[in-house]
Chains A and B, each alone.
Chain A
Amino acid sequence: MMELLADRASLFALTGAALVALGFYGFIIQRAPIRRLIAFNVIGSGIFLLFGGASYVGGGVDPVPQALIITGIVVALALTAFAATLAVRLAESGGDDADDDGDDDEDRESDR
């Protein structure tokens, strides 16, 4: 298993690099927020794969990159969820600049 991993480490890293390139192309080309968000996730996955592959130095699995990759995935998940919500709210408000929350106007006019 370890030998297999050592052989494949560069393969994983190169696959990661290819994913980064693909995702980067998508991020630049696409204009719709959701598509760019997907591209962001493709790049993110590529970086995590690259992280795992490139930091493999042989002699067992290094726990540090693994812990960092998991943290990175959590961060990416949070960002994705937030960005998706923002994209949906932006689309619902017709892409307009919105000060349209009812309570905001009340806040502004409330003279205490």
Chain B
Amino acid sequence: MTLLFALVALPLVFMLASLAAGRRAPRLIWLCAPLMTGLSAWLAISVFEGGRGGPLGGWPVPLGIALEADGLSAALLLASAITAGITGLYALGAYGRTDRETTRSYTFWPLFYGLWAALNAVLVSRDLFNLYVAIELLSLTAVALAAFGSRRAAMRYLMIALAGSLAYLLGVVLIFASVGTLDITLIGERAGEARIPVLTGAALISAGLIAKTALFPLHGWLPPAHGAAPPAISALLSALVVKASFVILLRVWFEALPGLSDPAVTLLFGVMGAAAVLYGSVLALRQQGLKVLIAYSTVAQLGYLLLVFPLAGGGEAATPWAAGAWGAMGFHASAHMLAKAGLFLAAGLMIHAVGDGRIDRLEGLARAMPVTALAFALCAVSLMGLPPSGGFIAKYLMLIAALASGQWPYAAVILAGGLLAAAYLFRPLARMFAGAGTPELARAPHRLLALAPLALGLAAMALGLFSAVPYDLMVIGLPEAGQAGLEDADPGS
């Protein structure tokens, strides 16, 4: 319990400290990154041993705020601590001046820690209103960081975020008015009494969250905002921010309303996810800019997350493949966090080196920047879903779940998405290895910066190589579904 509280409170403490520390603020990340990663690992171990959390400040649940971590939150907390920690260290290259203050090196760090705190709060909250406050803090910091790149894109993002938060809040009000509670578990117990108003509220909440997650029909704001931002910020936005609102969507449908979801609901989410995979991939294929390509790839990869709705069967049926689909979603979210952040950081170094963001200009970079190119390739392998990466385990488990439950159209989409990802990621990779000469490049802000994307790429690989432990962690606290069904299919056991 204290541990969960610390995971939310510590980034807030660092946020205040970075405001107070002035031009020494960048150095705080050297303390924060290992601390948060260590605490998240500790949490993962204690969740393994059965710890779940409890109410905050000693108030019982209907009045107090309960923090709780299931296996999925513990796994995502750890993956996001690694991603945010490494991205923070990388950001020292751009916002790390300690000889004098600049506006951006002063404003980046409080926003960075605020974003981290909000993300952790989303992952451990069990209360719809608490989640609302956390997701608002997350949106606020994310939009402010996006404005570092393009104010117009940030404004568009903000308008979507505002509309999304209103829809979410209206949904929360409808649910509270019909069942008289906001605690997710209590809603689950009482929701059957008022089916129609609760479902209306859930629909509004879902619409708001879909807009904030940039899931398919409401994804238009993401590529300009993520593509224009500086690399460290794109990495945070693309890897972490969009996952938070998706986790709330999962909590609402799988834990608050498991008995209420309808085949039509899971079909709708499944079709949206499949459309996102195909549409995002095709658009990524057509991009000329490296970062916009990676941003469209986020649109596509987020679609896979939605496939958990049809594959895990809406949660009310203890189907044998539900655990596999749930684990696949957890793997996909974690692997995408690591790999997408790594891609953006590697792309940032390359764009800095050639001074141009077009894919055509990357020629010969693999010879001039071998470590960065290796990092890019490792992350790309995970996104494509090739073994032995974390992305491979995710897509393999999804495929097994789709085939085992007889939903072959989704299996086809998963395979097609993998092929398309390979196609759009081979475009920049092929340019990097093309040609014969070694291009003239600008020096990187620091020669060790290339280690950041490399570490993220290696972490995405490690997730696949040692998949048994994270899989067992992710299915702890799996809502209402059998855990033993995929014994044969689970590559770890």
Contacts and interface: CB of A to CB of B under 8 A. Distances in A.
B166 A98 contact: no
A57 B150 CA distance: 47
Contact of A101 (B104, B170, B174): B104
A16 to B, nearest CB: 9
Contacts of A93: 151
Interface residues of B, number: 47
Interface string B137-165: 00110011001111111110011001101
Contacts of A37: 162
A107 B95 contact: yes
Given A36-B159, A108-B352, A57 B176 contact: no
Interface residues of A, number: 43
Contacts of B173: 47, 50-51, 54-55
B228 interface: yes
Given A54-B177, A65-B176, A101-B103, A71 B133 contact: yes
A95 B152 contact: yes
Interface string A63-77: 011001001100100
Interface string A15-37: 00000100000010000010011
A86 interface: yes
B286 interface: no
Contacts of A36: 159, 162
B180 A107 contact: no
A112 B444 CA distance: 9
Contact of B150 (A33, A47, A72, A97): A97
Interface of A: 20, 27, 33, 36-37, 40, 43-44, 47, 50-51, 54-55, 57, 64-65, 68, 71-72, 75, 78-79, 82-83, 86-87, 89-90, 93, 95-99, 101, 103-104, 106-108, 110-112
Q: Closest 10 interchain pairs by CB?
A: A103-B102, A54-B177, A97-B150, A51-B173, A90-B151, A55-B177, A75-B136, A40-B162, A43-B166, A111-B443
10 contacts: A33-B155, A33-B159, A51-B176, A68-B129, A72-B169, A75-B136, A82-B144, A89-B147, A96-B152, A104-B104
Interface of B: 62-63, 93-97, 102-105, 129, 132-133, 136, 139-140, 143-144, 147-155, 158-159, 162-163, 165-166, 169-170, 173-174, 176-177, 180, 182, 228, 352, 443, 445-446
